Structures are given as structure tokens and as C-alpha cells.
């Protein structure tokens, strides 16, 4: 929405000919060469951009280096101004309101890091058959700097399938809401079937064929793949495998008559409605001589039943190969940050971090050596990405709990805490380097905070 004082002329008028007496007939696509060069008339617009009025939001007049969060969402005219930096903008958009740290960045930002933010709401949505579901993805096509991991947000209506398939990449998943039944067969012929619900996790290694069917409540889940260039469009689907084999070969392979394959789909199903799964899961426990997948190698982990570790400012709970061995290179933490709290400044020494925001709103500053820093504003449904050893925090800027999942490519979840590092370094070194007063040195902590509470 533009300021009411912004323009006195409609846009169509502003960008039409200003030459008096211009013909009323439809003009050519290109102008005359007479328009080149130096204007003898020097005709200028009488439009002013200096009459823009606005009301600063809380903190907007503070020193830019203080970098407080600016809430522009209810502002009639958000402006790219912090302290004495910036200037007014003749027009602004909804995205300016929800990305205040892009419009009016903290004075501590410098240069340009990778784009560490992608809203899934801007991803192309792939729709399932007969209103059975949808899927939208984030990968290097839309987020070029996110090279190590890619993600998919997928919804299945009750009874709908994500059809039988496999991937070249490993698939790690967190169920966001609802419930579903997952099924797989490994390379040894061992079978697996389990029901998972909101908060649970599954993992299917590369090449392991599997399927997903929503139960009566429907389901939405997050998928993370160990390749930033991964695309759902390149999945190996059962329907496509069958459609691209000679029927005589299929008949020979399955020891069936050719006629058995007369009605196989000519195209992929991908997401499609199906017969509801039986309530008794044992009815779908198909096993051969190889038996079932051993529990120690289970493809699911009932993370929803794990209590969260409560700390000042929120809670954290971790799942990684120490407790979920089959996902041998996926480590994750589900983090809840109370209003006003913050995931402390940290970095991951061995992995990039792929983050998905489940609830609430927050912001983060990505710092890249030697001196580049960009602050991003995140909402539920956004993906965040922080490269290996690049420091960042995640601050709750809303009035409800902020919930997000951090996913690493690592054999265990770990991070380095800026606070713990400085607090565990001899105070004289810290004083000489950072010039902190003794009162601050005395309050430094040697333990990792994980989360920080509201500023005292």
C-alpha cells in the first residue's frame, strides 16, 4: 500500500508521454531518436518525493548499531530508516512490513552473505490427483547457497498416498501434523511398516524403496535430503518404472501373463487417493523369509514421545545417530523459544545448518568471515540456511512461542557457543581483546546457554 501523500498522478500517466500535444492515436513501440541526448526543453516531473510523512516505530530512532527488531507489520508507511541512516521510500510493499531487517537493516550488517532465507509459500506447488495433497520444495534452484541439503513440505489428505518410490539422496522427515503409515523393503528383503504421528521422525537411506499413506487425520510432513540440488521431480516412481519396461519383460520378471499389465498407469501417480489403511497395522505386515527390519535399524523414531529439555527461555530436544542409528548422517534439534528469548549465538563446526520454521516469527543474523553480515526475518513456513562455521542466532520477535527444527549433516548434534567460548577464555585475554568492563567479565558464563531469556 502506498502512502496517501505519495503521488498525485496515476502510474499510467507518470509513464506516458509528457510532451504537450502528443497524438492521441496508439504510439509506436519505440520512441524517436530525437529523444536521445540532451533535452532542449529539459521538461521535468512536478511530482515530489519529499512530502512523505511517516511515524517511526519503536526503536527506529535508536542508534543503528543497537539493531533492535523493528515491527513494521502494523505501520502505515514503513520506511528504510534506522537512527540517522537511510531515507524515505515513495512506495512500499507487504514484504517490507514482514522483512523489516531487509528494509531497515541493523547498522551492524555489512556486505551481502548468501541468501539464507526462502519462504516455502513462494515455491511452486505440485498438486496431487483428485484433491489428494500437494508438495512444494526448496533447493539450489531457489536458494543457490544451500548446497548441502534441500527440503520438501508435503501434505496428504486422509487415505492418500505418496506413491511407491525411492531416491538417490537420503530422506529424513519430521511429521508436522496428523499421522501416516510408512512402509519399506531393504536390500536384504527385510520389511518395515510403522505408524508415525506429529513430532515423529523417519529416515530412508538412498535407494531404499518406500511409500507413505495418510491415516484418517491426514498428514503434513517435512522432508530433508542430503543434497542441495535434490528435486522431487527426479524421484524414481513405481508407476514410471513399470511404464518404461516392455510388457514382455515385466511378464518375464514377475512370472505373470502379459495381460496382467494391461491396466498399469501410463503416467505417474505421485500423490493420489487410495483405499484407507486398515486400522490394525498387523494386517499390512508382509514378510518373506528375510523377516522384518531389526528394531536397532528401524526407519522410524518416535521423537514425539521424547520429553523436551527445558532451559531458561524455552526448550530443546535432539535426535541424532546416537539414538537413531539408521540416519547415520542426520542430526536435528527441535527448538522452542519463548517470546523475547533467543537461540544463542553459535555455529556448527562440521556441518551446514538447514532450518525450517514451524511456528511463530523470528530473525537471525548470518555472519560470514571476515566481516560480512546479513539479518533475515523468518516466519512459519520459511527455510533458513547457515553454512558451516558461520555464526548466527535466532531471536523470537513475536508474541507467541517460536518453534523451528535445525538439521545438520553430522553423526551427532553439536555446536560451538559464542558465550561459552568467551566465558571459558582467561578474562585478561577477553579484556585485552574486547575491552569489556570488569562488571561484564564477572558475569560471563562457562556453560553453554542454548537459549537466552529476555534482556534483563
Catalytic center residues: 406
Beta strands in 53-209 (DSSP E): 81-82, 85-86, 117-119, 125-127, 133-138, 150-156, 161-166, 171-185, 191-197, 201-204
- Residue 441, judged by CB atoms within 10 A of its CB (0-12, 13-18, 19+), counts as middle
Q: Check if the beta carbon of residue 208 is closer than 8 Å to that of residue 187.
A: yes
Helices (H), 15-147: 94-98, 100-103
With b meaning 16 or more CB within 10 Å and e meaning fewer, what string describes 375-386? bbbbbbbbbbbb
Would the annotation count 210 as a binding residue? yes
Beta strands in 20-75 (DSSP E): none
Cα separation of 349 and 22, whole Å?
Answer: 66
- Residue 296, judged by CB atoms within 10 A of its CB (0-12, 13-18, 19+), counts as exposed
Sign of CA dihedral 156, 182, 410, 331: positive
Q: Check if the beta carbon of residue 410 is closer than 8 Å to that of residue 350.
A: yes
- Please give the DSSP secondary-structure letter assigned to residue 391: B
Would the annotation count 157 as a binding residue? no
Helices (H), 335-447: 418-423, 427-434, 438-441
How many other CB atoms are there within 10 angstroms of residue 137's CB atom? 24
Would the annotation count 244 as a binding residue? no
Cα separation of 13 and 296, whole Å?
Answer: 71
Cα separation of 58 and 70, whole Å?
Answer: 7
Contacts of 197 (CB under 8 A, 6+ apart): 175, 178, 179, 304
Would the annotation count 338 as a binding residue? no
The Cα-based distances of 382 to 6, 46, 142, 272, 356 in angstroms read: 32, 42, 13, 26, 6
With b meaning 16 or more CB within 10 Å and e meaning fewer, what string describes 94-129? eebbbbbbbbbbbbebeeebbebbbbbeebeebebe
Residues belonging to the binding site for Mn(2+) are 165, 167, 171, 210, 346, 348, 353, 392
Amino acid at each position: 500500500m502506498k502512502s496517501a501523500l505519495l503521488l498525485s498522478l496515476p502510474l499510467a500517466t507518470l509513464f506516458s508521454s509528457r510532451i504537450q500535444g502528443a497524438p492521441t492515436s496508439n504510439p509506436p513501440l519505440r520512441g524517436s531518436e530525437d529523444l536521445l541526448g540532451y533535452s532542449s526543453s529539459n521538461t521535468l516531473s512536478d511530482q515530489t518525493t519529499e512530502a512523505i510523512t511517516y511515524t517511526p516505530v519503536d526503536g527506529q530512532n535508536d542508534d543503528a548499531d543497537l539493531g533492535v527488531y523493528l515491527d513494521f507489520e502494523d505501520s502505515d508507511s514503513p520506511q528504510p530508516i534506522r537512527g540517522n541512516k537511510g531515507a524515505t521510500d515513495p512506495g512500499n510493499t507487504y514484504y517490507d512490513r514482514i522483512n523489516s531487517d531487509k528494509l531497515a537493516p541493523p547498522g551492524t550488517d555489512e556486505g551481502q552473505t548468501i541468501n539464507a532465507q526462502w519462504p516455502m509459500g513462494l515455491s511452486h506447488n505440485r498438486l496431487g490427483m483428485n484433491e489428494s495433497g500437494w508438495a512444494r520444495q526448496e533447493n539450489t534452484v531457489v536458494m543457490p547457497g544451500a548446497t548441502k541439503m534441500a527440503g520438501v513440505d508435503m501434505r496428504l489428505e486422509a487415505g492418500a498416498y505418496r506413491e511407491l518410490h525411492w531416491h538417490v539422496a537420503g530422506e529424513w522427515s519430521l511429521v508436522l501434523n496428523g499421522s501416516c503409515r510408512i512402509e519399506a523393503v531393504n536390500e536384504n528383503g527385510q520389511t518395515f511398516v510403522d505408524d508415525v504421528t506429529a513430532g515423529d521422525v523417519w529416515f530412508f537411506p538412498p535407494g531404499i524403496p518406500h511409500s507413505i499413506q495418510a491415516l484418517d487425520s491426514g498428514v503434513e510432513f517435512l522432508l530433508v535430503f542430503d543434497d542441495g540440488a535434490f528435486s522431487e521431480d527426479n524421484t524414481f516412481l513405481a508407476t514410471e518404472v513399470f511404464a518404461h519396461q516392455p510388457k514382455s519383460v515385466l511378464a518375464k520378471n514377475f512370472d505373470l501373463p502379459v495381460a496382467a499389465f494391461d491396466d498399469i498407469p501410463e503416467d505417474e501417480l505421485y500423490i493420489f487417493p487410495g483405499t484407507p489403511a486398515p486400522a490394525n497395522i498387523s494386517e499390512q505386515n508382509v514378510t518373506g523369509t528375510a523377516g522384518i527390519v531389526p528394531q536397532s535399524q528401524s526407519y522410524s523414531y518416535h521423537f514425539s514421545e521424547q520429553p523436551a529439555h527445558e532451559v531458561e527461555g524455552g526448550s530443546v530436544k535432539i535426535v541424532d545417530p546416537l539414538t537413531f542409528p539408521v540416519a547415520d548422517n542426520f542430526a536435528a534439534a527441535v527448538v522452542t523459544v519463548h517470546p523475547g528469548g533467543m537461540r544463542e549465538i553459535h555455529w556448527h563446526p562440521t556441518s551446514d545448518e538447514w532450518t525450517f520454521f514451524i511456528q511463530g516469527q523470528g530473525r537471525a543474523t548470518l555472519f560470514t568471515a571476515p566481516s560480512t553480515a546479513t539479518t533475515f526475518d523468518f516466519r512459519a513456513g520459511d527455510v533458513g540456511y547457515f553454512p558451516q562455521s558461520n555464526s548466527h542466532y535466532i531471536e523470537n520477535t513475536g508474541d507467541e512461542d517460536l518453534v523451528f527444527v535445525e538439521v545438520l549433516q553430522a553423526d551427532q548434534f553439536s555446536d560451538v557457543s559464542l558465550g561459552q567460548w568467551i566465558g571459558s577464555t582467561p578474562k585478561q585475554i577477553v579484556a585485552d581483546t574486547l575491552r569489556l568492563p570488569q562488571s561484564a567479565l564477572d558475569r560471563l558464563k562457562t556453560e553453554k546457554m542454548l537459549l537466552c531469556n529476555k534482556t534483563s
